Amino acid sequence: MTGLKLYQMAVTLVLLFALSKTTKVQAQAASIGDISELNGSAQIVRDKPYDANLKFAIQSNDEAITTNGRMAITFLDDSVVKLTEFSELIIDEYIYDPDPSKAKMALTFGLGTARFITGSLNKIDKKNISLKTPTANISIRGTDFTATVDELGRSLIILLPDALGLSSGEIEVVTAMGTVLLNKPYQATTVSVFESAPSKPVILDLTLDVIDNMLIVTPPKEEIVIQEETTTTKGDSVLDFNDLDIDYLAEDFLSDDSLEYNELSINYLDVNYLEDLLNVLDALAIAEEEDVLAQATSTQITGTLLGRDPETQITTLITGNVVSLRRQVNESVRVDLDGSNSYTVIFIQDGISNVVKVNGGGDSVITITQSD
């Protein structure tokens, strides 16, 4: 083989290698969607930060960050992610394939509030769609839900209804300590840390009458303007008003969206609304724990303290409806009683008596004598 042929072969190999690398880079840089909505300022971080704009091509491993703005990303399978202000989303992996079982979407949501609307045509198997937050892993079998993550990493997940008001599917919220299934409209759960179980699911009654002072719901701007105008004209004299000066035909009152403010007017992605809701659900969880504690302590105990009483040396425990009295001095004794009934229990040792009354005492008297 001549030197010329060797040279030609070497050049060919180099070109083929360069072509393969170029093809690979192009494949990696393939667009998986674009920015379909933008209001305010936002960035896409790739090799460097890029200012977001409409139709900006999105790639795998991109990080979407909003500051004083909102942004929506529409993917190739028609899934949509809508980000509110001060939100952070990383697209860990996105594979679009004509075969839904081979397609995949993996996202990490680090901060803010987002609404996730998966494609209605099932172009990606729901089992291949996953979302991570700092405190939970979410398996998505629903088509419409919101996630809120605050600065502490606490996560709030709400399953939203479909167009008919029915459940849009199911969502599993998983932590190291348990799993919660959301499968009803407006069902929600919170997670404080990954090492704790998700809170018990609750169904949110998302109406203004129930929410009232608990949540901050921003009314439509049109209604605010009307209120302000009403306030500013209140000081005018009645004599200054001339009904003939108003052209009622030029004003289309029926087209005014501010005529009615109802549940449909609520912006469920409002930042204040969902952040306050996260606090409300935490309060509900605390209240539930307090109710359980109150139920446990509704049984009246006199003569000794709940828990370990160093003076009587009696340990009193209440579990559900069972009152357990335990005393271990040389010999161990334990008495389990029905907390809904009344008892008088007398512990005697060395001529010293400790009288414990359950629910005020009663005709049922139990005497226990402990030897030295």
Domains of the chain, CATH where assigned = 29-205 (2.60.120.1440), 209-294 (no CATH), 301-369 (no CATH)
Instruction: Place 277 in a pLDDT band, splitting at 50, 70 and 90.
Output: low
Question: What proportion of the chain, given as a percentage, has pLDDT over 90?
Answer: 25
CA 239 – CA 108 distance, rounded (Å): 63
Are 108 and 142 in contact by the 8 Å Cβ rule? The answer is no
Over its C-alpha atoms, the chain yields an Rg (Å, rounded) of 33
Note the pTM of the prediction, 2 decimals.
Answer: 0.56
Mean pLDDT, the chain, whole residue set: 75
Task: Quote the tokens at residue 362.
Answer: 């009663």
pLDDT of amino acid 288: 58
Identify which of 56, 51, 109 has the alpha carbon closest to the alpha carbon of residue 83: 109
> In residues, how long is the chain?
372
Q: What is the mean pLDDT of residues 82-103?
A: 90
Q: What is the DSSP letter of 276?
A: H
> What mean pLDDT comes out for the span 136-162?
86
Q: Which residue has the higher pLDDT, 20 or 68?
A: 68
CB 45 within 8 A of CB 62: yes
Measured CA to CA, the distance from residue 233 to residue 252 in angstroms comes to: 21
Give the residue with greater pLDDT, 223 vs 102: 102
238: pLDDT strictly greater than 50: no
Work out the number of other CB atoms within 10 angstroms of the CB of residue 340: 11
Most confident of 20-29, 210-219, 245-254: 245-254
Print burial letters for 341-366: b (CB count within 10 Å at least 16), e (below 16): ebbbbebebeeeebbbbbbebeeeee
Residues 203 and 187 sit within 8 Å (Cβ to Cβ): yes
**Residue 165 CB-density burial (10 A; 0-12 exposed, 13-18 middle, 19+ buried):** exposed
Answer yes or no: are the C-beta atoms of 189 and 198 closer than 8 Å.
Answer: yes
Do residues 372 and 330 lie in contact, with contact meaning Cβ atoms separated by under 8 Å? Answer: yes
Q: How far is 243 from 300, CA to CA, in rounded Å?
A: 72
- Residue ranges of the alpha helices (H) in 163-216? 208-211
- The predicted model gives 262-272 an average pLDDT of 47
Residue pair 147/112 in contact (Cβ under 8 Å)? The answer is no
Q: How far apart are CA 84 and CA 360, in angstroms?
A: 58
**Separation of CA 183 from chain center:** 14
Among positive and negative, which fits the CA dihedral 259, 262, 264, 268?
Answer: positive
Task: Name the amino acid, one letter, at 18.
Answer: A
The Cα angle at residue 132 between residues 130 and 138, in degrees rounded to 5: 55
Q: How many CB atoms lie within 10 A of CB 243?
A: 6
